Amino acid sequence: MQAQILQDPHRGDRKRGALRQVWVEKFKAQNDQWLVAYIIEERRNIVYFVAVGQHENFYRDLQRHLERGGKVERPL
């Protein structure tokens, strides 16, 4: 999934509201749906992977993480 997103970062769904800078791609693994959240820094051509998880509480936890200044250690 990571390679596919890096090839075409705009393939995911852009969120709205408080998460408007976040893109989310859904995928299946072991018969479960998973989500990967990432942020695109257009000017520097960088994709930051922010979170991976199942849907339950995903967006709530992601918003809390970002509000607390949660950052990615390094761009991929």
Q: For 15-45, how does the pLDDT look when each residue is reduced to its tens digit (9 = 90+)?
A: 999 999 999 999 999 899 999 999 999 999 9
Q: How confident is the model at residue 76 (pLDDT cuts 50, 70, 90)?
A: very low
Q: Which of 46, 48, 50 is nearest to 65 (CA)?
A: 50
Strands 13-14 and 46-54, by their bridges, are unpaired
* Residue whose pair of structure tokens reads 């859904």 in the numeric block: 26
| pTM (2 d.p.) | 0.85
